Structure formats: C-alpha cells, structure tokens
Amino acid sequence: MPATPASTEPRRARGRPRRLAPEAVLDAALTLFEDEPAEEFTLGRLARRLGVPVTSLYTCFPNRDALLDAAADRVFARFDWKPTPRAPWTEVLLSWMHAVQRHFRRYPIAQQLLSWDRRISPAWLRVLAPIITLLHGQGLRGATLVQTFSWLNSGTIGLIMSHAYNTRHAVRPALGATELAAGGEGLGAQLEFWSHVKALDHDQSLDAGFRVLVAGVAAALPASKH
C-alpha cells in the first residue's frame, strides 16, 4: 500500500495566545464606545470584538476600570486650552467652556468617558481641576463651591450636548398651525416662537447660554467679589 504523502501545509505552532499590544486594545475599545456607552462596556464584549479570550486582555489591563481610564487618558490628553494671562476670570471661564465644546465636537467619544458607574474619570477631573481652582480663587468655599461648580459643570455639558443635537437635526413643531390655533390662549407666543426657530444661530445660542452660566457663577460669589 503506498505511503500517504506528508502534508505540505505548515503546522500552527502551539503555545500561548498571541500577546496583544495595549494600543491595539485601546483602539478597539474606542471603536466599541462608538456603538455603546461606557456604562455597558465589558471586557467580554471587547474580547469578542478582538476575537481573543478575555484572559488575553489582562496582559494589558488588570481590570475594566484601568482600561476605561487609559481610554479617557488618551482622549483627554488632546484637550487644547490655555487661559489668556491676566484675563478676567469670566473670560477665562468662558474660553474653557468653548474649549470643551470644541473638544467634544472633534472627539465625540469623549462624552462617553466623562464618568461611569458613578465614578468620574481621572482624565476628565484633570480637565475640570483648573475651573475648581478658578472658582476657589474667586472666594467660593465649602458647600457653595461644590454646588456652584456642580451646576456649572452640568449646565456646560448639557448645553454642549443640546448644541450638538440641534446642529444635526432640524427643529420643527410637533403640531401644525391649525392645532396650535386650537390651543387658544398663548397662540401669539407659540406662533412667534416657531416662526423664529429656523432662523436660530446655534453657535450664537450656545455662547449666550455659556454667558448665562458665567453670570450665575458671578451671582454666587461673596459680596466682596461683586
């Protein structure tokens, strides 16, 4: 009986799975965040996307938080803002708010990496730190400092997200003129409002919103700072 010829195909070497590069893992994670929020992120999902056992990821990052922190570090390391020396604190704050808006427009994924599991990412905290220092320098202390900073931060992010949505989607009333007229009282206000919606300059509106927040901070300062 003739001998069976040996296969000419190379055998796959046995041994440990290929070692992943941390940068490649981060690239895949950031791509994954485009489809789902960081809150829902798991190492298992990332491993499936990479086609590797989940244990392979631990050679790069010891746990989920470490990977998310590294992703946030990469994104916020690109934050570009330098306050103008000796500028009024109001202009410094306003310039920071616009810098955050530009960063989120350039890197939409940054919004996913502000916080997760009620934990603010260290990278985002570093972006916030100069503003906490700025408010402290204006005399805000203790609970008043925390409260003022909290709504300033929330208001800034809210305005930026609203601006991003409104620039992508045309706003129109849910009701037509006939339905609005059926409302009776307040018709004039409704018609005036909707007649100007399309003419709204969203960038100008965002700046106006930022200035309202800055004015609110000014109102919270100690009497000696007014």
Q: Tell me the pLDDT tens digit for each residue of 142-191.
A: 999 999 999 999 999 999 999 998 888 776 655 565 666 665 667 778 77
pLDDT of residue 13: 42
pLDDT of residue 12: 38
How many other β-carbons are positioned within 10 Å of the β-carbon of residue 165?
11
Paired residues of 119 in beta bridges = 116
**11 phi, psi to nearest 5 deg:** -80, 145
Asked if residue 96 lies in contact with residue 81, where contact means CB atoms within 8 angstroms, the answer is: yes
Mean pLDDT of 67-79: 97
* Confidence band for 4, pLDDT divided at 50, 70 and 90: very low
Say which amino acid occupies 166.
N
Question: Tokens 């930022």 label which residue?
Answer: 210
Question: Tokens 């408010």 label which residue?
Answer: 135
pLDDT of residue 215: 98
* Confidence band for 97, pLDDT divided at 50, 70 and 90: very high
Mean pLDDT of 30-40: 87
pLDDT of residue 174: 58
